[in-house]
Amino acid sequence: MILHLNKLVNTDILNEIKKKYDAFHFSENEIEVVITSSSVKEVDTKFEKFVKEKFLFDSDIQLASLNYKQKREINIGGKIIGGNTNNCIIITGPCSVESEQQIEKVSKFISRLNIHTLRGGCYKPRTSPYTFQGMELDGLKLLKNAKNKYGFSIITEVRDSTHVNDVIEHADIIQIGAKAMYDHGILKACAKTKKTVMIKRGFGTTLQEFVQAAEFILSGGNPNVILCERGIRTFETKTRFTLDLCGVAYLKHHTNLPIIIDPSHALGYAYGIEDLSKACIAMGVDGLIIETHPNPSVAKSDAKQQLNFEQFEKLHKSISNIANAIGVNII
């Protein structure tokens, strides 16, 4: 249950309500927003006079529900996605930040294509200890330099809560990776900032759990949450994962959060990334995040799925063409 209380509600009353219902609370505009478990269906009569509006839900998808509010607008470095913008943000860059030269090459390339948002992993959540684990803080600094030089927004992944504050400090969009999205330490830290957070769906995660991860952040008072579908793990092994566009259709029709899609991790091979990107654009998603590398064959991670510049440029033209046809603005 979400309650909108009058701004003038007395602090003691507010605390009493929070305590009684074990509730979350934040202030937004002229409203005190109180959120209880969805199993709470009624508010005590003595509190009723403070309630301006009340929202009931079948499940703990509450603040993220389209029944609560219309699709949210999210500001990314001065560019807006979501709401009624019809904007689609293109995010690209290498799987891992590997060197200054690599980031410079990618930056120059995407800058030429008028792309404003650079990705690059610094803390890599590898499943083996015996592989490249990322440049960590040094990588963050390389991204920061690119941001300063080219005016990019930068997005990078937080792997665990030991370095979440470093990522919050340096990134414009904090990416919570598929393997970290249940991590309360990360979710709670992201709930306390106002920076934009992109949560990737775990490959074994239901849509219900995925949106509930967003509720951890929203209920702390940070409204700037984006969902990212990147493929789920199924029985099929010819492809790395299975991109769940049925799930994206569900999210579009039931939640108020913008949705970005990562076809690179889903397919795991460069050959079909353009096809999948065209599909996503046509479907009306709010963004794409695609891996590009100056020379994928020598990449320190995800070598098979990263596009070279020629492949990416071809993809970029294709999706721009479709975007034009359906009134979507590529940003």
Binding to a second copy, residues 242-301 (CB under 8 A): 242-250, 252-253, 266-267, 271-272, 275-276, 278-284
Beta carbons within 10 angstroms of residue 289's beta carbon: 24
- For 198, 312, 326, the CA distances from 152, given in Å and listed in that order, are 17, 18, 27
Q: Is 175 in the site for a second copy (CB under 8 A)?
A: no
Least distance (Å) from a second copy to the CB of residue 174? 15
Nearer to a second copy, 74 or 180 (CB): 180
Least distance (Å) from a second copy to the CB of residue 21? 10
Q: Is 321 in the site for a second copy (CB under 8 A)?
A: yes
CA 115 – CA 307 distance, rounded (Å): 16
Least distance (Å) from a second copy to the CB of residue 152? 27
* Strand pairing class (196-200; 173-176): parallel
> Among 10, 194, 325, 329, which residue sits at the site for a second copy (rule: CB under 8 A)?
325
Q: Is 180 in the site for a second copy (CB under 8 A)?
A: yes
Least distance (Å) from a second copy to the CB of residue 331? 19
Here's the x/- map for a second copy, 208-237, by CB under 8 A: it reads as xx--xx-xx--x-----------xxxxxxx
Q: Is 19 in the site for a second copy (CB under 8 A)?
A: no
Q: Residue 277: which of 317, 236, 238, 237 has the closest Cα?
A: 317
> Among 60, 157, 172, 262, which residue sits at the site for a second copy (rule: CB under 8 A)?
60
Least distance (Å) from a second copy to the CB of residue 184? 5
Q: What is the dihedral of CA 81, 84, 86, 88, to 10 degrees?
A: 10
Nearer to a second copy, 151 or 204 (CB): 204
CA 133 – CA 140 distance, rounded (Å): 14
Q: Is 70 in the site for a second copy (CB under 8 A)?
A: no
Least distance (Å) from a second copy to the CB of residue 36? 7
Q: Residue 175: which of 165, 167, 183 has the closest Cα?
A: 167
Q: Is 311 in the site for a second copy (CB under 8 A)?
A: no
Alpha helices of 50-175 — where are they, by DSSP H? Answer: 100-112, 137-150, 164-170
Least distance (Å) from a second copy to the CB of residue 57? 10
Least distance (Å) from a second copy to the CB of residue 266? 6
Q: Is 161 in the site for a second copy (CB under 8 A)?
A: yes
Q: Is 207 in the site for a second copy (CB under 8 A)?
A: yes
Sign of CA dihedral 89, 95, 101, 105: negative
> Among 15, 27, 131, 165, which residue sits at the site for a second copy (rule: CB under 8 A)?
131
Q: At 204, which amino acid appears? A: G
Q: Which of residues 31-50 bind a second copy (CB under 8 A)?
A: 35-38
Q: Is 202 in the site for a second copy (CB under 8 A)?
A: yes
Q: What is the dihedral of CA 218, 222, 223, 229, to 10 degrees?
A: -70
Q: Is 165 in the site for a second copy (CB under 8 A)?
A: no
CA 189 – CA 283 distance, rounded (Å): 33
CA 221 – CA 201 distance, rounded (Å): 21
Residue reference for tokens 């008028």: 114
> How many residues interact with a second copy (rule CB under 8 A)?
80
CA 179 – CA 200 distance, rounded (Å): 8
